[in-house]
Amino acid sequence: MDRFLFNLVLAIDGVLMNKLRAFLTALGIIFGVAAVIAMLAIGEGAKAAILDQLKLIGSNSIVVSVKKESVSQDEADEGSGTSSDSQKEGKTKWSPGLREADVDAITAVVPTVEKISPEVIMNKKLLANNRQGDVRCVGITGDFFVLNNIPMGAGHDFASFHHESGAPVCIIGRNIQKNYFQQRDPIGETIKVGNTWLRIIGVLERRITQKENLDRLGIRDYNSDVYVPLHTALLRFENRAKITNRDVGEQGQYQEVDSYHQLDRLVVRVHDTHQLQATADVISRLLKRRHQDQVDFEMEIPELLLQQQQKTQETFNLVLAVIAGISLLVGGIGIMNIMLASVLERIKEIGVRRSLGAQRIDIVLQFLLEAILISLIGGIIGIFLGIVSASLIANSADIPTVVSGWSVAVSFGVAFIIGLVFGLIPAQRAALQDPIKALRTD
């Protein structure tokens, strides 16, 4: 140990005597380690962002939504060059639209389905605490909060009410409480949504969500909605599955309406991620058959979209890793070159040490420790530079970055290994010098 410490002191003196050369030698390591830290930070940030997005949409979910413009199968076949009798006659088959019966059919027919959350979405006027505004009222079942990972912040959910009772109750988001009730407790208060008075029984816990995530995933800001039981929405507000006087014109002709769908959206959770695509195909065929071959719905699997996004991010990270690896390789070669040149410059020093009793292992340790020290100094500076770079990337490019402890440890270990590997050849070259010839060197 004494011999090792003595050689370590000599190695430190050797580095300090040539500070500028040591710094220039370490530049390759500095930029390589900084690139590794920044690359791992971007990768961890992307992973964290994807996990946050999965929490927003729920795992293993399939989203079935109403298509804005109904497209018949006949119209879909037109692009493929096929036609049917109804297309030739210019007729379009009637579709009942997305409705509660579809939910029952999916539950009964598709065994891979775990839960289904139907939604009816309505834009209404809100009157609360003598203040008026616009609000989105959403008719849901109890599974909505489970599938979307939204916990209750206060009060309780609809579990105590019979699902077909049409009870005039509601749950509000945090933004509704903030905008209409300020510091008051809204539980038990009544609000008017459209022409219907509702009693507040619960307030959702606030969910902090970036606007770009909401836009990318096509989901709503759950903090700003009013939620009512599904049958309350159908009984007290609007049931588009029923024909009313508004739907029939003066001469008994059926009028065009904004939407004939009873439901606006279905969120289906399956048991296993591997069953997502197959389940989506089965549900699509089932709904198409129930809708008279009309494809008046759209299906999306957010988790698969996120997985594709993750693969793209991993490819980007791989490119960064290759660049960082090349920088580290160049840095290692630079250390080896400088140390080899240093051996030639210090031949006389090597001869003096050998003549005073130093063994070859001492010479190896001295030069090897110098290479490791230079590499570690570059690694420390590179880690600091990488953390700063990750912060700058996050602030300027709006890319989430997370610098983890293990990435710092990996970078430090890589710097040590590079110094060890690329310093070994110069150290051995120094130890093999003939002390007599070395002493003769000017």
Distance CA 21, CA 15 (A): 8
Given a cut of 70, whether residue 100 has pLDDT beyond it is yes
Which pLDDT band holds residue 105 (cuts at 50, 70, 90)? very high
Angle at 407 between CA 49 and CA 26, to 5 degrees: 130
Residue 293's pLDDT is 87
Question: DSSP letters along 378-428, please?
Answer: HHHHHHHHHHHHHHHHHHHS-------HHHHHHHHHHHHHHHHHHHHHHHH
User: Which comes out higher in pLDDT, residue 148 or 308?
Assistant: 148
Distinct helix (H) and strand (E) counts, the chain: 15, 10
Domain extents for the chain? 2-53+308-440, 96-290
228-286: pLDDT as tens digits = 999 999 998 988 877 655 555 555 554 455 678 889 889 888 888 788 888 989 999 99
Given a cut of 90, whether residue 197 has pLDDT beyond it is yes
Look at residues 20, 176, 26 and name the one whose alpha carbon lies nearest to residue 186: 176
User: Which comes out higher in pLDDT, residue 138 or 324?
Assistant: 138
Distance CA 438, CA 354 (A): 9
Q: Are 132 and 125 in contact (CB under 8 A)?
A: yes
Which pLDDT band holds residue 83 (cuts at 50, 70, 90)? very low
Look at residues 267, 275, 264 and name the one whose alpha carbon lies nearest to residue 297: 264
Q: Are 134 and 164 in contact (CB under 8 A)?
A: no
Mean pLDDT for the chain? Answer: 77
Given a cut of 80, whether residue 13 has pLDDT beyond it is no
**Mean pLDDT (whole number) for 327-337:** 78
Report the share of the chain in percent with pLDDT over 90.
16
Distance CA 109, CA 87 (A): 31
**What does pTM read for this prediction?**
0.59
Which pLDDT band holds residue 300 (cuts at 50, 70, 90)? confident
Which pLDDT band holds residue 304 (cuts at 50, 70, 90)? low
DSSP state of 112: T
Q: Exposed, middle or buried, 89 (CB in 10 Å: 0-12/13-18/19+)?
A: exposed
User: Which comes out higher in pLDDT, residue 331 or 121?
Assistant: 121
CB-side neighbour CA atoms (13 Å) of 371: 32
Residue 78's pLDDT is 41
391-416: pLDDT as tens digits = 887 787 667 777 878 778 887 788 88
Given a cut of 90, whether residue 76 has pLDDT beyond it is no
Residue 18's pLDDT is 75
Q: Exposed, middle or buried, 188 (CB in 10 Å: 0-12/13-18/19+)?
A: exposed
User: Which comes out higher in pLDDT, residue 107 or 80?
Assistant: 107
Strands 196-204 and 113-128: unpaired
Given a cut of 90, whether residue 226 has pLDDT beyond it is yes
Distance CA 185, CA 191 (A): 13
